[in-house]
Structures are given as structure tokens and as C-alpha cells.
Amino acid sequence: MTDPGTLNVLVLGGTDEARRLAAALADRPGTRVVSSLAGRVRDPRLPVGEVREGGFGGATGLRAWIEENGIGVVIDATHPFAARMTASAAEATGLAGVPLLILRRPGWQQGPGDDWRWTPSLEAAAELLPSLGGRVFLTTGRRSLPVFAGLDELWFLARSVDPPRPPLPRNLKVLLSRGPFTVEGELALMRDHGVEVVVTKDSGGRMTTAKLFAARELGLPVVVVRRPAVPDGVPRAETVERAVAWLEAVAGAQAG
């Protein structure tokens, strides 16, 4: 049962920002925060407070969940590449008439000395790779590995939180590990494995930037997959602080 005086906030999570947002709202008076995780990582880093796990069943399922749980505000703090969840959040909140904010950290900016090749998709990255080097460091997540499965002439070092599932590239070494990483560690890793090219999504944030600095120092090309577009007309914030300020404004308007 939800108290009619309580503001119920649904935070769509799976990121550092989502955890920091849940922590920032934990002591807000008259507020109940529910963080939602997809349930894909075996041992996820959990936010403080209430957590639910697993998909909602598309936009229709999410709309029903919002209405059944008396949710007054949704903040989509998912990863910039979680495009289906974001699209579903936009549709469901539109149907339920509930305000939505997208909290999305800024993308990475190329600096002097960087040799970045922007591509529109993982598939385009895979097409580009044979022209850039034979030994590839893949940091795009375990579920992206099938895209690179046909590239038998290349050798891959892939880093992921949980073990990947087939189909996988034929010449593959998997490193199970979770950030944040250090520049020294990334330099050693790339040197030890004779890495010639790095592949990354434009995830942004500080947790995984060390590989970019290491690649710059080693003069390696980095294939950077562009972010998917976000739905039109949805307000956005780039920081947790701005997301909290947006929530205060929305809560003030709802109260008044």
C-alpha cells in the first residue's frame, strides 16, 4: 500500500549515476525510491534502498507497473546504450502521464594525441577492425561478442563482468573483471597482450576512461561506437545534482 502523501520515484538503474541518485534521494522527506535493475549481472553492485530486478515486459508492462505502484516520477538513469529500456520508459510514462527525466552522463571527447575512429554501430566497428590491427582489445561488453564472431583472422582480448556466451570469436581470451581501472593497469594489460587496436562504446564517465589514456600513450587507434539517439522531447540531465534539482522542481509543481 502506498501512502498518498508519499512521492514514489522509480529509478531505472544499472549505472554508477543511478546508485548515486538513489543515495542522494534516500533521506528526502516523504519520498520512496525504488531502483530497478535488469537482472543480467550475476552479482550486481546494489544501490541503497529498495531494489526490484528484471524486465517489466515492454512499455505496456512498465506502464502497468508504474500505475500499480503509484509511481509519481520516473528517472531513467540506465546506461547510454540501454536504448530499449529508454524507449520503453518514454512510451510508458507518456501513456501513464508521469514525468520522466533521462539522466545521462556526457559522452567522451577526443583530445590531442587520440586516434579515434567513430562508428555508428558495433557491426560497423567489426567491419573496420581488419584494416586497423590484428590484436584487438574489446571492451564493449560480453553481449557484443557475437558481432565479432566471424573475424577468424583477428585475435581478441575481451573484458567483461560475467562470462560471455557463444557465438564467440575463434581466437579469444576473456578477462573477467569490473572497473574502475587505472591507466597503469591498462598500459600493462595492453603491452602484455600486444594490443594493436581498442574497441569501446562511447559510454562516458570516469569509471572506464583509463583505457583511452593508455591507448593515447601507446599511439593505438580506438574504435568508438556512437551512442544511440534518445527519444525526442524528454528532459535530460547530465549529473546527479541536476537530476535532483529537476525532481525538486517537479515535486514542487505537483504539490502546488
Nearest alpha-carbon partner for 246 in 147, 103, 34: 103
Cβ proximity to ligand NAP: between 20 and 79 the closer is 79
Per rule CB under 6 A, is residue 181 in the interface with ligand NAP? Answer: no
Stretch that binds ligand NAP, among 75-83, 127-135, 147-155, 168-176 (CB under 6 A): 75-83
CB atoms closer than 10 angstroms to residue 231? 16
Q: Work out the angle between the directed axes of helices 58-68 and 83-96 (0-180°, nearest 10).
A: 50
For 184, residues 6+ apart whose C-beta sits below 8 A from its C-beta are none
Site for ligand NAP in 9-38 (CB under 6 A): 12-15, 36-38
Question: Do 74 and 18 form a contact (C-beta atoms < 8 A)?
Answer: no
Q: Which residues pair with 103 in a beta bridge?
A: 237
Task: Annotate each residue in 101-140 with x if it binds ligand NAP (CB under 6 A) or - if it does not, as one string.
Answer: ----------------------------------------
Residue of 73, 75, 88, 246 that binds ligand NAP (CB under 6 A) = 88
Per rule CB under 6 A, is residue 180 in the interface with ligand NAP? Answer: no
Nearest alpha-carbon partner for 223 in 199, 243, 240, 204: 199
Cβ proximity to ligand NAP: between 40 and 242 the closer is 40
In DSSP notation, 35-52 reads: EEE-S-SSSPPPPSSEEE
Cβ proximity to ligand NAP: between 55 and 185 the closer is 55
Per rule CB under 6 A, is residue 81 in the interface with ligand NAP? Answer: yes
Which runs of E-coded beta strand occur in the chain? Answer: 7-12, 31-37, 50-53, 71-76, 100-103, 115-119, 135-138, 155-160, 172-176, 197-201, 221-225, 236-237
Cβ proximity to ligand NAP: between 196 and 224 the closer is 224
Stretch that binds ligand NAP, among 53-61, 105-113, 120-128, 238-246 (CB under 6 A): 53-61
Site for ligand NAP in 182-241 (CB under 6 A): 201
Q: Which residue has the cell 556466451?
A: 165
Residues that bind ligand NAP (CB under 6 A): 12-15, 36-38, 40, 55-58, 61-62, 78-79, 81-85, 88, 141, 201
